[in-house]
Amino acid sequence: MKNADQQSELQARTAEHYDRYPFEFMTPSDESAIRATQPEPFRRFVDQYVTATSRVAEIGCGPGRGTLFLLDKTAHLIAVDISYRSLVMARQRTPYTAFIRATNLMLPFQSDSFDVVISDGVIHHTPDARQAFGENARIAAVGGTLYIGVYNRKRYYYYFYTVLGPLLQRLERNIAGRAFIYATALPLYWLVHLVKSGGKRTWKGAINFFYDYIMTPRASFHTYEEVCIWGREEGLDLLAYDPSLGNVHVFVFRKTRRTRTEVISAYSQGDSDADHFKANLHELD
Protein backbone atom coordinates (compact mmCIF):
# COMPACT_ATOMS: atom_id res chain seq x y z
CA MET A 1 0.00 0.00 0.00
CA LYS A 2 1.76 3.15 -1.22
CA ASN A 3 -0.52 6.20 -1.18
CA ALA A 4 0.33 8.40 1.84
CA ASP A 5 -3.28 9.49 2.45
CA GLN A 6 -4.48 5.90 2.36
CA GLN A 7 -1.72 4.94 4.79
CA SER A 8 -2.60 7.60 7.32
CA GLU A 9 -6.33 6.90 7.03
CA LEU A 10 -5.66 3.20 7.66
CA GLN A 11 -3.43 3.96 10.62
CA ALA A 12 -6.07 6.24 12.13
CA ARG A 13 -8.61 3.43 11.76
CA THR A 14 -6.18 0.95 13.32
CA ALA A 15 -5.53 3.22 16.31
CA GLU A 16 -9.28 3.67 16.78
CA HIS A 17 -9.84 -0.08 16.46
CA TYR A 18 -7.33 -0.93 19.21
CA ASP A 19 -8.68 1.91 21.35
CA ARG A 20 -12.05 0.17 21.24
CA TYR A 21 -10.72 -3.38 21.37
CA PRO A 22 -7.27 -3.35 22.99
CA PHE A 23 -5.45 -6.68 22.81
CA GLU A 24 -6.34 -7.41 26.43
CA PHE A 25 -7.07 -10.93 27.60
CA MET A 26 -5.17 -11.38 30.84
CA THR A 27 -6.94 -12.43 34.02
CA PRO A 28 -5.66 -11.34 37.47
CA SER A 29 -4.03 -14.76 37.86
CA ASP A 30 -2.26 -14.31 34.49
CA GLU A 31 -0.88 -11.04 35.79
CA SER A 32 0.41 -12.52 38.99
CA ALA A 33 2.08 -15.35 37.05
CA ILE A 34 3.31 -13.11 34.27
CA ARG A 35 6.18 -15.37 33.23
CA ALA A 36 3.83 -18.28 32.57
CA THR A 37 1.58 -16.01 30.48
CA GLN A 38 4.31 -15.34 27.90
CA PRO A 39 4.64 -17.49 24.80
CA GLU A 40 7.56 -19.89 25.11
CA PRO A 41 9.74 -18.32 22.32
CA PHE A 42 9.39 -14.90 23.95
CA ARG A 43 10.35 -16.25 27.40
CA ARG A 44 13.38 -17.91 25.86
CA PHE A 45 14.40 -14.76 24.01
CA VAL A 46 14.10 -12.55 27.09
CA ASP A 47 16.05 -15.03 29.22
CA GLN A 48 18.80 -15.17 26.66
CA TYR A 49 19.15 -11.57 25.49
CA VAL A 50 17.69 -9.15 28.03
CA THR A 51 19.91 -8.23 30.97
CA ALA A 52 19.58 -5.64 33.74
CA THR A 53 21.49 -3.09 31.67
CA SER A 54 19.85 -3.74 28.28
CA ARG A 55 18.19 -0.76 26.63
CA VAL A 56 14.94 -2.26 25.38
CA ALA A 57 12.28 -0.91 23.00
CA GLU A 58 8.96 -2.71 22.81
CA ILE A 59 7.24 -1.58 19.63
CA GLY A 60 3.49 -2.18 19.69
CA CYS A 61 3.23 -3.03 23.38
CA GLY A 62 -0.58 -3.21 23.46
CA PRO A 63 -1.94 -3.21 27.03
CA GLY A 64 1.39 -4.38 28.46
CA ARG A 65 1.52 -8.18 28.62
CA GLY A 66 5.14 -8.28 27.46
CA THR A 67 5.99 -4.98 29.14
CA LEU A 68 5.16 -6.32 32.58
CA PHE A 69 7.35 -9.37 32.01
CA LEU A 70 10.24 -7.31 30.60
CA LEU A 71 10.29 -5.13 33.68
CA ASP A 72 11.40 -8.14 35.73
CA LYS A 73 14.61 -8.02 33.72
CA THR A 74 15.40 -4.40 32.91
CA ALA A 75 14.35 -0.91 33.94
CA HIS A 76 15.67 0.62 30.70
CA LEU A 77 12.47 0.06 28.82
CA ILE A 78 10.54 2.25 26.39
CA ALA A 79 7.22 1.01 25.04
CA VAL A 80 5.44 2.36 21.98
CA ASP A 81 1.97 1.84 20.55
CA ILE A 82 -0.34 3.63 18.16
CA SER A 83 -3.38 3.11 20.41
CA TYR A 84 -3.74 5.61 23.23
CA ARG A 85 -6.08 3.41 25.25
CA SER A 86 -3.73 0.42 25.03
CA LEU A 87 -0.93 2.63 26.34
CA VAL A 88 -3.04 3.88 29.23
CA MET A 89 -3.84 0.27 30.18
CA ALA A 90 -0.17 -0.70 29.90
CA ARG A 91 0.80 2.23 32.08
CA GLN A 92 -1.66 1.13 34.76
CA ARG A 93 0.18 -2.19 34.75
CA THR A 94 3.69 -0.79 34.78
CA PRO A 95 3.55 2.81 36.02
CA TYR A 96 7.31 3.41 35.79
CA THR A 97 7.82 2.47 32.15
CA ALA A 98 8.25 5.24 29.57
CA PHE A 99 5.38 5.09 27.08
CA ILE A 100 5.21 6.88 23.77
CA ARG A 101 2.38 7.03 21.28
CA ALA A 102 3.83 6.73 17.80
CA THR A 103 3.64 4.74 14.61
CA ASN A 104 6.15 2.01 13.89
CA LEU A 105 6.41 3.36 10.33
CA MET A 106 8.44 6.28 11.67
CA LEU A 107 9.74 5.68 15.15
CA PRO A 108 10.70 8.73 17.19
CA PHE A 109 14.15 7.41 18.11
CA GLN A 110 17.58 7.94 16.70
CA SER A 111 19.22 5.08 14.86
CA ASP A 112 21.36 2.63 16.87
CA SER A 113 19.58 3.38 20.17
CA PHE A 114 18.59 0.01 21.67
CA ASP A 115 20.29 -3.26 22.61
CA VAL A 116 17.02 -5.13 22.19
CA VAL A 117 14.02 -4.35 19.98
CA ILE A 118 10.83 -6.37 20.39
CA SER A 119 7.78 -6.26 18.16
CA ASP A 120 5.39 -9.11 18.74
CA GLY A 121 2.36 -9.36 16.47
CA VAL A 122 2.48 -5.75 15.28
CA ILE A 123 4.17 -5.07 11.94
CA HIS A 124 1.48 -7.03 10.05
CA HIS A 125 -1.17 -4.58 11.31
CA THR A 126 0.53 -1.63 9.64
CA PRO A 127 0.03 -0.44 6.06
CA ASP A 128 3.60 -1.44 5.20
CA ALA A 129 5.10 -4.33 7.18
CA ARG A 130 8.40 -4.05 5.34
CA GLN A 131 8.80 -0.41 6.34
CA ALA A 132 7.90 -1.19 9.96
CA PHE A 133 10.46 -4.00 9.93
CA GLY A 134 13.08 -1.56 8.63
CA GLU A 135 12.27 0.92 11.38
CA ASN A 136 12.64 -1.77 14.06
CA ALA A 137 16.03 -2.66 12.60
CA ARG A 138 17.11 0.96 12.30
CA ILE A 139 16.69 1.75 16.00
CA ALA A 140 18.58 -1.38 17.13
CA ALA A 141 22.25 -0.87 17.94
CA VAL A 142 24.87 -2.75 15.95
CA GLY A 143 25.36 -5.96 17.95
CA GLY A 144 21.82 -5.71 19.32
CA THR A 145 19.04 -8.27 18.90
CA LEU A 146 15.50 -8.14 17.53
CA TYR A 147 12.47 -10.29 18.28
CA ILE A 148 9.88 -10.05 15.51
CA GLY A 149 6.60 -11.98 15.57
CA VAL A 150 4.65 -11.80 12.31
CA TYR A 151 1.66 -13.58 10.73
CA ASN A 152 2.69 -16.68 8.79
CA ARG A 153 1.44 -16.68 5.20
CA LYS A 154 1.46 -20.47 5.18
CA ARG A 155 -1.11 -20.97 7.94
CA TYR A 156 -4.87 -21.46 7.61
CA TYR A 157 -5.48 -18.15 9.37
CA TYR A 158 -4.55 -16.31 6.15
CA TYR A 159 -7.64 -17.80 4.46
CA PHE A 160 -9.76 -17.18 7.53
CA TYR A 161 -8.91 -13.47 7.53
CA THR A 162 -9.05 -12.90 3.79
CA VAL A 163 -12.26 -14.87 3.13
CA LEU A 164 -14.32 -14.66 6.32
CA GLY A 165 -12.87 -11.34 7.53
CA PRO A 166 -14.41 -9.02 4.89
CA LEU A 167 -17.79 -10.71 5.32
CA LEU A 168 -17.87 -10.31 9.10
CA GLN A 169 -16.42 -6.80 8.90
CA ARG A 170 -19.21 -5.76 6.56
CA LEU A 171 -21.85 -7.36 8.79
CA GLU A 172 -20.42 -5.62 11.82
CA ARG A 173 -21.06 -2.16 10.37
CA ASN A 174 -24.75 -2.19 11.28
CA ILE A 175 -26.60 -2.99 14.49
CA ALA A 176 -28.41 -6.06 13.17
CA GLY A 177 -25.19 -7.49 11.78
CA ARG A 178 -23.35 -6.86 15.01
CA ALA A 179 -26.16 -8.49 16.99
CA PHE A 180 -25.91 -11.48 14.67
CA ILE A 181 -22.14 -11.75 15.26
CA TYR A 182 -22.57 -11.49 19.03
CA ALA A 183 -25.22 -14.21 18.93
CA THR A 184 -23.42 -16.65 16.65
CA ALA A 185 -19.75 -16.23 15.70
CA LEU A 186 -18.57 -14.81 19.02
CA PRO A 187 -19.98 -17.50 21.34
CA LEU A 188 -18.54 -20.13 19.02
CA TYR A 189 -15.20 -18.39 19.02
CA TRP A 190 -15.27 -18.08 22.81
CA LEU A 191 -16.06 -21.75 23.18
CA VAL A 192 -13.08 -22.76 21.06
CA HIS A 193 -10.83 -20.43 23.05
CA LEU A 194 -12.24 -21.64 26.33
CA VAL A 195 -11.33 -25.21 25.44
CA LYS A 196 -7.91 -24.27 24.04
CA SER A 197 -7.04 -22.19 27.12
CA GLY A 198 -8.13 -24.92 29.56
CA GLY A 199 -11.12 -22.88 30.76
CA LYS A 200 -9.20 -19.64 31.31
CA ARG A 201 -10.41 -17.38 28.49
CA THR A 202 -13.01 -14.83 29.60
CA TRP A 203 -15.83 -13.59 27.34
CA LYS A 204 -14.22 -10.14 27.20
CA GLY A 205 -10.83 -11.66 26.37
CA ALA A 206 -12.43 -13.69 23.58
CA ILE A 207 -14.06 -10.55 22.14
CA ASN A 208 -10.69 -8.76 22.07
CA PHE A 209 -9.03 -11.76 20.40
CA PHE A 210 -11.83 -11.95 17.85
CA TYR A 211 -11.53 -8.26 17.03
CA ASP A 212 -7.75 -8.57 16.75
CA TYR A 213 -7.83 -11.63 14.52
CA ILE A 214 -10.91 -11.14 12.35
CA MET A 215 -12.03 -7.52 12.55
CA THR A 216 -8.71 -5.69 12.54
CA PRO A 217 -8.57 -3.14 9.68
CA ARG A 218 -5.30 -4.55 8.41
CA ALA A 219 -3.48 -7.87 8.55
CA SER A 220 -0.70 -8.87 6.16
CA PHE A 221 0.91 -12.28 5.94
CA HIS A 222 4.55 -13.10 5.29
CA THR A 223 6.58 -16.17 4.50
CA TYR A 224 9.80 -17.29 6.16
CA GLU A 225 11.69 -16.54 2.93
CA GLU A 226 10.25 -13.03 2.66
CA VAL A 227 11.21 -12.05 6.21
CA CYS A 228 14.68 -13.56 5.75
CA ILE A 229 15.18 -11.35 2.68
CA TRP A 230 14.10 -8.28 4.67
CA GLY A 231 16.64 -9.27 7.33
CA ARG A 232 19.44 -9.61 4.81
CA GLU A 233 18.54 -6.28 3.21
CA GLU A 234 18.75 -4.63 6.61
CA GLY A 235 22.09 -6.18 7.57
CA LEU A 236 20.63 -8.61 10.11
CA ASP A 237 21.76 -12.17 10.83
CA LEU A 238 19.02 -14.68 11.63
CA LEU A 239 19.84 -16.22 15.03
CA ALA A 240 16.68 -18.26 15.54
CA TYR A 241 13.40 -19.08 13.86
CA ASP A 242 10.35 -20.52 15.61
CA PRO A 243 7.10 -21.39 13.82
CA SER A 244 5.70 -23.30 16.81
CA LEU A 245 3.13 -20.68 17.86
CA GLY A 246 1.00 -21.32 14.79
CA ASN A 247 -0.38 -18.20 13.13
CA VAL A 248 2.55 -16.05 14.21
CA HIS A 249 6.09 -17.12 13.42
CA VAL A 250 9.00 -15.69 15.35
CA PHE A 251 12.33 -14.39 14.04
CA VAL A 252 15.31 -13.50 16.21
CA PHE A 253 17.92 -11.38 14.46
CA ARG A 254 21.24 -9.81 15.35
CA LYS A 255 22.12 -6.50 13.76
CA THR A 256 25.58 -6.73 12.25
CA ARG A 257 25.93 -3.35 10.54
CA ARG A 258 24.04 -0.10 9.86
CA THR A 259 20.79 -1.02 8.15
CA ARG A 260 19.57 0.06 4.75
CA THR A 261 16.70 1.99 6.33
CA GLU A 262 19.18 3.72 8.63
CA VAL A 263 21.44 4.81 5.82
CA ILE A 264 18.55 6.08 3.70
CA SER A 265 17.10 7.93 6.68
CA ALA A 266 20.47 9.50 7.52
CA TYR A 267 20.93 10.70 3.94
CA SER A 268 17.45 12.07 3.51
CA GLN A 269 17.56 13.90 6.83
CA GLY A 270 21.07 15.31 6.50
CA ASP A 271 22.02 12.90 9.30
CA SER A 272 19.98 14.70 11.95
CA ASP A 273 17.51 12.05 13.03
CA ALA A 274 16.47 13.96 16.12
CA ASP A 275 14.71 16.90 14.44
CA HIS A 276 13.07 14.68 11.89
CA PHE A 277 11.58 12.27 14.40
CA LYS A 278 10.62 14.89 16.96
CA ALA A 279 7.75 15.87 14.68
CA ASN A 280 6.33 12.39 15.01
CA LEU A 281 6.48 12.11 18.78
CA HIS A 282 3.42 12.25 21.00
CA GLU A 283 4.33 11.95 24.66
CA LEU A 284 1.72 10.14 26.71
CA ASP A 285 0.36 12.73 29.14
At residue 22, what are phi and psi to the nearest 5 degrees?
-60, 155
Contacts with ligand SAM by CB under 6 A: the residue count is: 22
Assess 11 for contact with ligand SAM (CB under 6 A). yes
Closest separation in Å from C-beta 65 to ligand SAM: 4
User: For the chain, how big is the Rg over CA atoms in Å?
Assistant: 18
**What x-and-dash track marks residues 182-221 binding ligand SAM by CB under 6 A?**
------------------------------x---------
> What's the rounded Cα separation, in Å, for the pair 255 and 227?
14
Residues 283 and 78 sit within 8 Å (Cβ to Cβ): no
**Restricting to residues 37-76, which ones interact with ligand SAM according to CB under 6 A?**
60-62, 65-66
Q: Which of 54, 94, 97, 126 binds ligand SAM (CB under 6 A)?
A: 126
Among 1-9, 68-76, 114-122, 230-238, which window interacts with ligand SAM (CB under 6 A)? 114-122
> What's the rounded Cα separation, in Å, for the pair 94 and 97?
6
**What x-and-dash track marks residues 239-278 binding ligand SAM by CB under 6 A?**
----------------------------------------
| Contacting residues toward ligand SAM, per CB under 6 A | 11, 14, 18, 23, 60-62, 65-66, 81-83, 86, 103-105, 120-122, 125-126, 212
